[in-house]
Amino acid sequence: MINCIDQTTDYSNQELYRFLGGVNIPDFVKTASIEEVKEPQKVKTAYADPLFRLFPINSKARVYVSNAFFQHKKAELKDMYGCSHVAKVETNLKTAAETWGISKELEEFNKVAESQLTEEYQEQGVTIKVGSEDEIELFTIKTASDLAREANHFVANLNNYPFEWRRNISEQFVKVAESLNVDELPELVLKYAGQYYPDAVHVKAELARRMTKLSADNQKRYQDLIGDVENISSKEEFFKLAECLHYTEKNAGLYDKSYYRRILGDPVDQLFTLSFEKVAQLCDVVEMGGEKFASSDLEAVPADIYHQSFGFELDPKSAEAKDILPTMPKADVSLFKVLSGVKPI
C-alpha cells in the first residue's frame, strides 16, 4: 500500500516539497498557499480520479500539484488499480490542464519528472545469503519507485519468507532507501529493521493474548515468558522472544489457519510498537503526585487550567515548570487531571 497517494494525504507536505524540488515552478503555484493546493474540507471538488476522490483539479495550482503526485505515483497506482484506471486519471489530468490553460506547464514538469524517475541508479539488489558463498537475489531495485513496489510486495507476502530472513531483508531495504533518499517505507519493514522498540507492559499483555490460542503445555511456556519480560534488557532479546513466538505458534499449526494467523498478527509487528518519536516523547516526562506525564501532553494544556488546579500562573513550556510541577500536592494533581484530561503514561 502506498503511504501517501496525493496531496490530500501528504500531511507533512514532505512529498510535496520533494516532487516540486528542482523544478521551475509556475507563478500560479508559487503564490498558492499549502492549503490552496490541497482539497478544502467539506467543499465539493472535482477530481482526476473521481472513483477514489484523488488528485483534485478545481484550480490551476491543484491541477499542477495533482499531476506532480500522479507522475511520481503512477507505477504504484498501476499495481494497485490497473493500467486502464491509471490511463483514465491521466486523461482527466490532461483535460483539466487544457481547461485551465496550463498544458504547457504540465508538459514541462513531466519532462523533468520523467528524467528523474527514469534516471538509472547504480543497480542494487536486496539479497539473502543461504550458505557461505551462494546468494539468492530476491529483489532488484534501480529507482525509488522500484523500492516502494518491492517493499510493499515483501510486506504483502511476508509469510512466504522464512522468519530468519526477514530482518536481513528489511535492513537492506532501509539501506537502499537511504541511498535513494527515500524517507518512507512500510512500517513493518522498519520494525524488522530494528527502528521500533518494545513496550514491556504491552509485551506482557500481548503474550497473554496469544497464549489463549495455545495448548496447555504452551500456555505454561508463555506464562514463564511473561514472567521473564522484566529481565529482558536489549532489543536483540526481544527479537529472540518474537522468534520464539513465531516458531511456537507455527509448530502448533496456528499459522496454517487464516483466521488464527490474522487475529494473532506477526510477532514482530505486535511486540515492537514504539517508534523513535514515541520513545523520545516517553523519555521526556515530568513526575507529579507519584505519576509520570509526557511533557508534550503537559505543554498542550492551557495556562488557565494550571491556575485553576494549582492556584498560580504557570507556563508549562518554561524551564521552571519541570522543577515546580513535581512539588505539587497529590490532591491538586488529581484536580489537574480532571480539568485537563491529561492521563499519566
The model's confidence at residue 76, banded by pLDDT at 50, 70 and 90, is confident
Phi, psi for residue 300 in degrees, rounded to 5: -85, -5
Task: Determine the Cα–Cα distance for residues 58 and 43; give it in Å rounded to an integer.
Answer: 11
**CB-based burial label for 160 (10 Å; 0-12, 13-18, 19+):** exposed
Confidence of residue 12 (pLDDT cuts 50, 70, 90): low
CB 187 within 8 A of CB 209: no
pLDDT at 254: 94
Helix axes 60-81, 83-100, angle to 10 degrees: 170
> Mean pLDDT over residues 194-211, rounded?
93
The C-alpha atoms of residue 247 and residue 343 are separated, in whole angstroms, by 37
Nearest to 276 by CA among 200, 204, 187, 215: 187
Share of the chain above pLDDT 70, in %: 86
Q: What percent of the chain has pLDDT over 90?
A: 45
Please give the Cα distance from 116 to 124 (Å, whole number). Answer: 17
- More confident call, 67 vs 276: 67
The span from the CA of 151 to the CA of 5, in Å, is: 16
Per-residue pLDDT at 30 exceeds 50: yes
The residue with greater pLDDT, 38 or 53, is 53
pLDDT in tens, 239-292: 999 999 999 999 999 999 889 999 999 999 999 998 876 665 666 778 888 888
Lowest-confidence range among 5-9, 186-190, 297-301?
5-9
pLDDT digits (tens, 9 = 90+) for 89-108: 999 999 999 999 999 999 99
- Stretch (H or E) spanning 135: strand 135-141
More confident site: 5 or 11: 5
Please state the rounded mean pLDDT for residues 318-339: 89
pLDDT at 190 over 50: yes
Average pLDDT over the chain reads: 85
Q: Which parts of 181-310 are beta strand (E)?
A: 196-198, 272-275, 285-288, 291-294
Task: Give the pairing of strands 54-56 and 47-49.
Answer: antiparallel
pLDDT for the residue numbered 40? 55
50 against 36, higher pLDDT: 50
* Whether residue 1 has pLDDT greater than 70: no
The pLDDT of 1-11, averaged and rounded, is 67
Q: Is the pLDDT of residue 14 over 50?
A: yes
Tell me the per-residue pLDDT of 128-171, one tens digit each, with 9 for 90 and over.
666 556 678 888 887 787 888 899 999 999 999 999 999 999 99
pLDDT at 98: 93
Whether this model's pTM surpasses 0.85 = no
